[in-house]
Amino acid sequence: MKNNYMKIRLFLLILLLCRLVYASSLDSTAFYVNSAVLETEKGNVIITFFEKEAPNHVNNFKKLVETGFYSGKIFHRVIEDFIIQTGKTEKKDLELIAPEINKIHFRGSIGAARKDDKVNPEMKSDPTEFYIALRPKPELDGKYTIFGRVAKGMSIVEEISKLKTNDKDLPNEPVKIIKVYLDRFFDSEKYEYYSNQ
């Protein structure tokens, strides 16, 4: 009996040592991902991208960020517990983006806006407008391209979503995006997950 107890203790000790060695061998630089920081009047929102699933949408978004397109834009469509939306422009001749519909709507998902099916049966995306979902929206799945997620700052998104609006979902006192810039973000959730394997 005592012999079995010692064997179990030895096995658990070896298992613990193996986990420690694996965790220490993880290259933390592998957990830095491409991101963008939205500096708003309410605080910062950090987003990361689904570069494999929606490469054309991600590249388009990055190019807009690099030109400063989103600086000064407001969240022009706000629906509590649904979405906040920004990126509206008066330019009419912009080329639409072919759909890359691979992801579902979840809390914090970032999707490309588009016109409805009657005028846009191909489900092409608006090249500048995007929205952030406040909760899962299965009724929108398979209809819009999701190209990123909120990695940090969901409380800011929620705060914006609670703004008082007029009958066209425009906030009475809109929140402005001060600037947006590209960055690298340490994905601590992913790091923790692999550290504990």
Q: Which residues pair with 176 in a beta bridge?
A: 74
- Assess if residue 7 is contained within a domain: no
Q: Is residue 144 part of a domain?
A: yes
Instruction: List the CATH number of the domain containing 48.
Output: 2.40.100.10
Inter-CA distances, 182 with 31, 41, 141, 174, 179, Å: 16, 18, 27, 24, 10
In a domain, 17, yes or no: no
Please check whether residue 16 lies inside any domain of the structure: no
In the numeric block, the tokens 């923790």 are attached to: 192
What is the rounded distance in angstroms from the CA atom of residue 159 to the CA atom of residue 190? 26
Does the global pTM surpass 0.85? no
> Where are the alpha helices (H) located in the chain, listed in sequence order?
2-25, 55-66, 154-161, 188-195
How far from chain centre, in Å, is Cα 160? Answer: 16
Which domain range does residue 158 map to? 29-186
Residue 9 covered by a domain: no
Does a structural domain hold residue 6? no
Q: Is residue 24 part of a domain?
A: no
How do the pLDDT tens digits run along the chain, 197 residues long? 556 667 677 776 776 555 655 555 556 677 889 999 999 999 999 999 999 999 999 999 999 999 999 999 999 999 999 999 999 998 888 899 999 999 999 999 999 999 999 999 999 999 999 999 999 999 999 999 999 999 999 999 999 999 999 999 999 999 999 999 999 998 877 667 666 65
Q: Is residue 179 situated within a structural domain?
A: yes
Could you give the number of structural domains in the chain?
Answer: 1
